[in-house]
């Protein structure tokens, strides 16, 4: 049995590097492959058909790079494409590969306490899909879910332009002051979690970088058929479909010693 396969992390841009950083900190022994489809950023403003097309292209590329398990860190891609990938694409194209998303683990954490109001700030496509509302209501149909699209945030983060981000965050937080918890429903938003917590000191801000590492470790523990296939040489391979100086700066801030390569 091959034991040189990788843990893959897919995102529409660089936000997934925050999740990858948490994975590596938790389980540094594994080999990781990161692919950010920055050429088609932002996914959140694309049609569902475009999002599915680009995500499938990313899955094929990552499978070719010897990924055994792929985490779609992008909330937009998870909400639009994950079910199709798991039910239609993988059984035909790569039945031995596992692809997981970030929505269900996030919902589980957000709904751990008995809450009346849960907020979701996400991309336009994720909000249109209502995936967080749907999954929260499966746990508790009485939860009032307040969903808000924040289309300005991802482009500002990707361009390393944090100077104007806080003004938007402060404005968005006004909608969530009565919530028990707020889901940061985009992989880029963990980079802004301190800002959200600054303006929502009494709200539980659920940031995916703080929960996904534990969820992945638990999954691998329960799936030995995947665990035994993974390389444990500490290799890192980070690639994007489009590269510029701004994205290089964002990546360097997270991983100073690992180069970001154009795929």
Phi, psi for 49 (deg, rounded to 5): -65, -40
Phi, psi for 249 (deg, rounded to 5): -65, -45
Rounded CA-CA distance 201/197 in Å is: 5
DSSP state of 151: T
Q: Two tokens at 95?
A: 């039945």
Task: Characterise 66 by phi-psi region: left (phi > 0), alpha (psi -120 to 50), beta (else).
Answer: left
* Candidates 74, 173, 179, 229; catalytic one: 74
Told to judge if 179 belongs to the known catalytic residues of this protein, a careful annotator would answer no
* Candidates 67, 173, 179, 186; catalytic one: 186
Contact present, 238 and 34 (Cβ < 8 Å): yes
Number of H helices, E strands in the chain: 13, 10
The catalytic residues are 74, 186
């Amino acid at each position: 049995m091959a034991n040189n396969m990788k843990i893959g992390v897919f995102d529409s841009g660089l936000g997934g590097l925050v999740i990858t950083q948490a994975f590596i900190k938790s389980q540094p022994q594994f080999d990781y492959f990161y692919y950010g489809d920055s050429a088609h950023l932002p996914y959140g403003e694309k049609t569902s058909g475009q999002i599915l097309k680009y995500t499938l292209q990313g899955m094929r590329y990552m499978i070719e790079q010897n990924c055994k398990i792929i985490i779609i860190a992008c909330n937009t891609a998870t909400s639009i494409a994950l079910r199709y990938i798991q039910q239609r694409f993988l059984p035909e194209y790569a039945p031995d590969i596992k692809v997981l998303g970030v929505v269900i683990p996030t919902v589980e954490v957000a709904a751990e306490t008995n809450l009346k109001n849960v907020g979701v700030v996400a991309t336009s496509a994720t909000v249109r899909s209502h995936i967080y509302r749907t999954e929260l209501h499966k746990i508790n149909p009485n939860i009032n879910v307040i969903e808000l699209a924040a289309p300005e945030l991802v482009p500002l983060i990707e361009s390393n332009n944090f100077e104007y981000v806080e003004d938007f965050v402060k404005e968005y937080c006004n909608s969530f002051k009565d919530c028990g918890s707020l889901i940061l429903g985009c992989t880029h938003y963990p980079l802004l979690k301190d800002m959200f917590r600054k303006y929502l000191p009494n709200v539980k801000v659920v940031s995916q970088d703080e929960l996904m590492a534990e969820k992945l470790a638990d999954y691998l523990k329960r799936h030995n058929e995947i665990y035994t296939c993974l390389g444990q040489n500490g290799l890192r391979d980070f690639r994007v479909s489009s590269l510029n100086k701004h994205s290089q700066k964002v990546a360097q801030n997270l991983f100073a010693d690992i180069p970001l390569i154009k795929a």
